[in-house]
Amino acid sequence: MLLPKSWLEKYVELPADTRTMCDEITATGNHVESIIDRSKGLEGVVVGKILKIEPHPNADKLVVCQIDVGGEEKQILTAAKNVFEGAVVPVALDGAKLVGGMKIKETKMRGLPSEGMMCSLEEVGMDTSVIPKDARDGIHILPDDVPLGSDYVKVLELDKEVIELEITPNRPDCLSVRGMAVETAASTNSALKENAVTVTENSDVAMKDAFNGLNVETENAPRFYLRMLTDVEVKPSPLWMQNDLMAAGVRPINNIVDLTNYVMLEYGQPLHAYDLEHLKGKEIHVRMAKDKEKMHTLDGNEHILCEDDIVIADKEGIIGLAGVMGGDISGVSETTATVILEGANFDADHIRKTSKRQALRSEASSRFEKGLDPNMAKEAVDRVCELAVEIGAAKVAKGCFDHYPKEVTPWTVDAKVSRINALLGTEISVEGMVKILDSLLIPTTLDGDMLHATIPTFRGDLHIWEDLAEEVGRIYGFGNITPQPLKGTLTRGGKSLFRRVQKRAEDVLLAAGFDEFMTYSFMGPSAFDRIQLAADDPLREAVKISNPLGEEYSIMRTTLLPNMLDIFVKNMSYKNPSAYGFEFGNVFSVDKDADGLPKEYMKLAIGFYGEEDFYYLKKTVATVLKRLGIYGVRFVQVQDFPLFHKGRQAEVYIEDECIGRFGCIHPKAQADLGMKQPVYMAELDFSKIVEKAKDIIIYKPIARFPSIERDLAFIVDKKLAAQDLLDYVEKEGGELLESVAVFDVYFGKGIEEGKKSIALKLAFRHADRTLKESEIAHIVDGIIEGIEGQFNAKLRSE
């Protein structure tokens, strides 16, 4: 950003030394890149007036000019075509110096003396990008009221430096002269000259009578403010305005366009002017573009829009790409008589994306994309109206149109003085802090040790007390703070319960010979087909990724099994004889949490192929849970999960809650995937496991007294689950029952069709003495009688 000192001093009483001032500005957070001295190398250029022009007798392209340079007449020859009698021009006299080291001397041109040279803006160092079009190819013509003989450098204020600044993205308010005036005044402890804007509605026309209306059809334009200028006289801007614009890097065009550019630089609020006669229906609509809709911008290029672009339109079509650039049919021309002034506020993200997508960067888009204060829209338009009356460019119509459904008002941030000092390591007084914040236009009151700061709406970067502390610190001067050693209390770090339980489970699995797998959280819909899921299975309800890398990474996974299965398929294709692995990974649900984000759950997947079988997987699951201090684990045979063999799958329960399932892959799935060996996999809800796990395991001492064991075999229905018998025995065994386990299941000879034999081993023990046979006899008899009655079983006697 270019900040002319000549413009800045209209708002601040600046210190004499520019470099000292810039050092203070840099120290308070607004980095000064450079100080540009535009008068360097310029000497002896004065203002003169052409009194008479005659042709050169010996040269067709030269003319002889008699010029009054302030009480003294000089003869100067030139080939410039834009000079005329009465023109006020810059004159480099004999001995003058121009940019680039050129020295002017009196000379003869085709026999006639020339006592100097008339100058163009380029010859005095102006960049061609900021020179007005009518002054590019000739002598600079000055206004008639410039005093003759005056120093041209001072007339154009070239002797006042231009400060080049680097503004951080969180401070769009500093992309303006007023914003930097506030910062400069606070940084240098100078007085701020703030003048209220006054709009004089001096036109006989009411806006509502000449303009048919404003219709804002999108929430992405939270503020849209319009005023109307009548009796417009399009002409060059005053010299002071042109000087400020050129110093700030903007080319003057005409007074109306210059007014909008001038106030944009002054207030940081982009503006636009529409010729009322070019608005079809004399109305404005603010809406989202239609897909593939086309428009031509002021730069003459055609742009194809999408539904995420905000546009300004009239009754027939688009007249502007909101926040980026106006349309080619809406601009101000020499024939413009009535102007509609627009000051708007647009959603920052939409402007940033539109600017990038359309490859259009403008002064407006660079400001809008950082987020602007909606209240600034009205202030800036009113400032244009004030200046238009001041310079005689137009009159202001009565009334305005203002779309502002949700007004943004100042908010309050509270902070303790002691807390700010503790954070900064300072001892700034209460009065000092209030003075600093007030200097930044942040009105602050004091209640004991508490500061109550009212944040103006143009400071959208201030929301928490630490923000106030930073403001106090940077204006006080971080360089003025005495460095101190770090203070604080040391705390002992540690893992959460969740991580401790996970680590113990990992240790068990690694000790059992399993490797840890890690796979992507993304997957594709085809993964559900690989694990044979039904079309209406809840696991297919997945969170979709808005910008996927491809179809196979388009959703967030709801299960770990497809990724684990892919690993085993790949290992088999590499002819690895076996593979054992596990993975801890998050799965994602379409259900939303309190923050509106998809819920995440951690699951544990265990799987292998090789020499082991279904019962090894069951034992592995049981061992992991047991090592986590979880008891009461039950395995219930099921047949409903399509990936697993109907006769080789089970659900895992802790007490009465299902925490997962395991099984052997179904032969059909095995064939579809081209696998030559069966694969065994388990998927457990690890979040539920953590809830049941015991962080501290209490070990019992080794038993001092012997146990009494009894083996019981029952002939039961073939479909009866052994777990049902175990549950019954554990329930009826009483305090003396130490353990019960199945040690044999038999089908075949001696057992009738439809039946099977289940053999149980019961162990009884007393902690304090040796048991007697008589103490367990009645317990065993009760168990036998209960099983025979409840399960229609028969005790085997052989």
Cα separation, 667 vs 644, in Å, equals: 8
For residue 3, the SS3 value is: strand
Cα separation, 169 vs 372, in Å, equals: 11
Q: CB atoms < 10 A from the CB of 88, how many? A: 21
Shortest CA distance to 327 belongs to which of 351, 300, 298? Answer: 298
Q: CB atoms < 10 A from the CB of 431, how many? A: 9
Cα separation, 465 vs 140, in Å, equals: 54
Angle, in degrees to the nearest 10, between helices 417-424 and 465-476:
60
Cα separation, 130 vs 136, in Å, equals: 10
Half-sphere exposure of 764 (CA within 13 A, CB side): 22
DSSP conformation letters of 456-503: -TT-TT--SHHHHHHHHHHHH-GGGSPP-------------HHHHHHH
Say if residues 628 and 693 touch (Cβ distance below 8 Å): yes
> Is 144 marked within a binding site?
no
Count each helix (H run) and each strand (E run) in the chain, helices first.
Answer: 21, 38
Half-sphere exposure of 589 (CA within 13 A, CB side): 10
> Is 283 marked within a binding site?
no
Radius of gyration of the chain (CA): 43
Q: CB atoms < 10 A from the CB of 748, how many? A: 7
Amino acid identity of 566?
D
Cross-strand bridge partners of residue 33: none
Residues in the chain: 798
Cα separation, 113 vs 100, in Å, equals: 24
Cα separation, 465 vs 128, in Å, equals: 47
Cα separation, 118 vs 49, in Å, equals: 10
Cα separation, 582 vs 566, in Å, equals: 13
Buried b (16+ CB within 10 A) or exposed e, 14-25: beeebeebbebb
Distance of alpha carbon 752 from the chain centroid: 73
> Is 461 marked within a binding site?
yes
Pairing of strands 310-313, 318-321: antiparallel
Shortest CA distance to 92 belongs to which of 61, 63, 59, 125? Answer: 125
> Is 752 marked within a binding site?
no
Say if residues 187 and 180 touch (Cβ distance below 8 Å): no
Question: Strands, DSSP E only, in 672-781?
Answer: 680-685, 708-717, 737-746, 755-764
Cross-strand bridge partners of residue 118: 91
Query: Residue ranges of the alpha helices (H) in 531-649?
Result: 561-573, 614-627
Secondary element (H or E) of residue 593: none
Amino acid identity of 554?
S
The tokens describing 621, both together, are 């699951």
Cα separation, 779 vs 708, in Å, equals: 12
Cα separation, 526 vs 546, in Å, equals: 18
Say if residues 662 and 643 touch (Cβ distance below 8 Å): no
Say if residues 39 and 158 touch (Cβ distance below 8 Å): yes
* Binding-site residue set: 461, 467, 470-471
* Binding-site residue set for Mg(2+): 461, 467, 470-471
